[in-house]
Amino acid sequence: MVKSMTGFGRAEVLEGNTKFTVEIKSVNHRYLDVNIKMPKKLNFFESTIRNLLKEYMERGKVDLFITYEDFNEDTGSLKFNKALAAEYLNYLNQMAEDFEIENDVRVSTLSRYPEVFTLEEQAIDEDQLWAVLEKALRLACEKFVESRKAEGENLKIDLLQKLDEILASVSFIEERAPEILKDYRTRLEEKIKEVLADRQLDDARIATEVTIYADKICVDEETVRLRSHVNSAKDTLQKGGSVGRRLDFILQEMNREANTILSKANNLEISDTGIDLKTNIEKVREQIQNLE
């Protein structure tokens, strides 16, 4: 299936006293650019998380949000640094003597000094924590991929319709091109008759002029290549997978052929059709920027 680069996925997993909430959202980007926001205590999982995400996505600017809640009552213990408190008190007594001021230090005051009391968290069981986090990540990624697929299929339908419109324009140009030569030969003969009056027309000279004109306006090669590129783009969409980069290259080639057709066109109908052709190609190019 074709996948959009825009997607969203969310999952919550609660096991025991541990709860993880994971949200993933993404927008268009040329490459895979992942931005992770999570509690600092989970930073040692970052590399593993990035590797896991690569299993589910190849392109896009992805924002990942992880919320961690621990409902254990015994999450840490309070530690008293007696040596540091004694050092603070010693210096405060020394200040009182040196400056001959009253030492008004109380226990409540001393307890608020940095590092006198510290809260030490219990050691984390990384394997157990990762087991819950991985489950939440994979659930969110699966929902994220499903949302990308749903939007990608809608884009695919629209793109196939626009590619059919491009093929219709190519068919019109192919059908109209021979008529232009007939019209040109008729006008040329009429013009020569006016100039030469009753003299006999030189068919060979007229044929030569028509041939020269045909070489200048012939778009057969361009329409054949353009039709081939359109069919290749349709096949690519039908096969699915990560098609964005390949389609972008195909559309560049289609645009090149359309430009050549427009430069050769000296007929109003073909020029108008060529403009429609380029407009639809540009619309397709804009749309495929949304595909992974």
| pLDDT tens sequence across 29-46 | 989 999 999 999 899 999
Query: What percent of the chain lies above the pLDDT cut of 70?
Result: 84
Q: What is the mean pLDDT of the chain?
A: 86
CA-to-CA distance for 247 and 230, rounded, in angstroms?
10
What pLDDT is attached to residue 131? 94
Summarize pLDDT for 128-138 with one digit per residue, the tens: 899 999 999 99
Residue 73 predicted with pLDDT over 60: no
Does the pLDDT of residue 67 top 60, yes or no? yes
| 271-274 own/partner pairs: CB under 8 Å, 24+ apart | 273/169, 273/172, 273/173, 273/176, 274/169, 274/173
Is the pLDDT at 70 greater than 60, yes or no?
yes
Q: Indicate if the pLDDT at residue 123 is higher than 80.
A: no
Neighbours of 31 (CB within 10 A): 8
Range with the lowest mean pLDDT among 23-27, 92-96, 250-254?
92-96
Radius of gyration of the chain (CA): 37
Could you tell me how many residues make up the chain?
Answer: 292
pLDDT at 126 over 90: no
pLDDT band per the 50, 70, 90 thresholds, residue 47:
very high
Q: How confident is the model at residue 220 (pLDDT cuts 50, 70, 90)?
A: confident
Which pLDDT belongs to residue 200? 60
Partners of 21 in beta bridges: 12, 67
Helix, strand, coil content of the chain in percent (nearest 5): 65, 15, 20
Does the pLDDT of residue 244 top 60, yes or no? Answer: yes
Q: Hey, which residues does 80 pair with through a beta bridge?
A: 117
pLDDT at 148 exceeding the cut of 90: yes
Of 86-95, 108-117, 122-131, 206-215, the poorest mean pLDDT is in 206-215
**Tokens linked to 68:** 């961690």
